[in-house]
């Protein structure tokens, strides 16, 4: 078989893969594949862009260019003004790619090896990984929906209790964000399942912030009001499940207290305690560096530099008197 014929067979297999992957999507259809009949004349892709080729589909582009087939939805969202019909990609069309589009050569090579193997008639289950991913996403979505539904039942009582503790020294902030979205919860379930090498159900049990609150306390009253809040929650039947005092931890570029309580109904919720300055530092000054550290595509050098900058920023935050000594016993897990 000459090289031209071989390449044509590879393109045909790639197109077939995209058609098969379309059927696997549990949410919505994606472009089947681009053909010469849908070609358009457009400028070559600029940095961060991609020019559609024959046989392309969003699944394939996501896997080849981003290293994760599940990111096809990000491409579709980013190009909502360019993709009029999600069933059709046009050859020559320029698409924008999400940040962090670069993918290591071994990921691209692995995909090419599968396609070449299939073109040569070798056994290769191109749909197995995608089918497993689709099944995992479906299970995670179901778990996330159940967790949020349970949290919605307990939320009114939790919110009311915390609001009753507000004063000129204590305030709640970000109440409009107290529920984690189903999509974000589902992503976290999948990530935890992969990181911990456990089932999605087991991973879901580790998530404590489907419902979350942030309390800002004036620096002079910090120690007293943290104690008052914990006592008030415990007196109402809430169980203190996690208590992390980062004021006393010099090895972490973060300041504040992160706690987790379990309601009598079984819902876990996170409650952060901050001073006005520690909250502003976390949410505004240090946030962009935090995103660099948590981004899997950041290099070690980038993460190291981001952590250094976070250390410098948090070093300017005043530690409330006695805050380092705040501690509570929590159940062993």
Average the pLDDT over each of 17-31, 46-60, 169-183 and give the range with the smallest value.
17-31
Question: Is the full-model pTM beyond 0.85?
Answer: no
CA distance 280 to 245: 18
Q: Where are the beta strands (DSSP E) in 161-274?
A: 170-173, 211-217, 239-245, 257-262, 268-274
Q: Start-end ranges of CATH 3.30.460.10 in the chain? A: 131-275+318-325
Average the pLDDT over each of 89-103, 139-153, 157-171 and give the range with the smallest value.
89-103
Indicate whether 232 pLDDT > 50.
yes
Let me know if domain 131-275+318-325 sits in CATH 3.30.460.10: yes
Confidence band for 129, pLDDT divided at 50, 70 and 90: low
* Predicted pLDDT of residue 120: 43
Which structure tokens are listed for 208? 């404590």
44-70 average pLDDT score: 71
| Average pLDDT score over the chain | 78
Tens digit of pLDDT for each residue in 13-30? Answer: 344 444 444 434 433 333
Give the three-class secondary structure for 123: coil
């Amino acid at each position: 078989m000459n090289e031209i014929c071989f390449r044509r067979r590879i393109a045909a297999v790639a197109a077939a893969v995209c058609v098969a992957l379309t059927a696997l999507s549990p949410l919505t259809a994606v472009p089947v594949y681009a053909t010469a009949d849908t070609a358009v004349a457009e400028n070559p892709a600029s940095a961060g862009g991609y020019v559609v080729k024959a046989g392309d589909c969003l699944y394939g582009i996501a896997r080849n260019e981003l290293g994760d087939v599940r990111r096809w939805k990000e491409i579709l969202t980013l190009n909502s003004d360019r993709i009029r019909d999600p069933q059709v990609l046009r050859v020559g069309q320029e698409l924008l790619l999400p940040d962090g589009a670069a993918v290591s050569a071994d990921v691209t090579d692995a995909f090419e090896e599968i396609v070449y193997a299939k073109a040569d008639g070798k056994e290769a289950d191109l749909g197995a990984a995608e089918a497993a991913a689709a099944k995992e996403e479906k299970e995670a979505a179901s778990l996330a929906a159940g967790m949020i539904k349970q949290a919605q039942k307990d939320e009114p009582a939790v919110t009311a209790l915390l609001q009753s503790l507000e004063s000129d020294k204590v305030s709640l902030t970000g109440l409009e964000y107290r529920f984690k979205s189903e999509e974000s919860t589902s992503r976290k379930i999948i990530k935890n399942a992969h990181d911990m090498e456990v089932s999605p159900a087991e991973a879901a049990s580790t998530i404590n912030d489907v419902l979350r609150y942030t309390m800002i306390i004036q620096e002079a009253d910090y120690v007293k009001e943290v104690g008052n809040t914990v006592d008030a929650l415990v007196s109402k039947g809430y169980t203190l499940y996690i208590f992390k005092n980062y004021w006393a931890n010099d090895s972490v570029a973060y300041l504040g207290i992160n706690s987790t309580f379990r309601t009598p109904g079984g819902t876990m919720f996170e409650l952060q305690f901050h001073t006005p300055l520690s909250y502003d530092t976390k949410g505004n000054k240090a946030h962009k560096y935090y995103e660099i550290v948590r981004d899997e595509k950041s290099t070690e050098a980038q993460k190291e530099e981001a952590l250094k900058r976070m250390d410098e920023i948090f070093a300017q935050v005043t530690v409330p008197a006695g805050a380092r000594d705040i501690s509570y016993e929590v159940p062993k897990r």
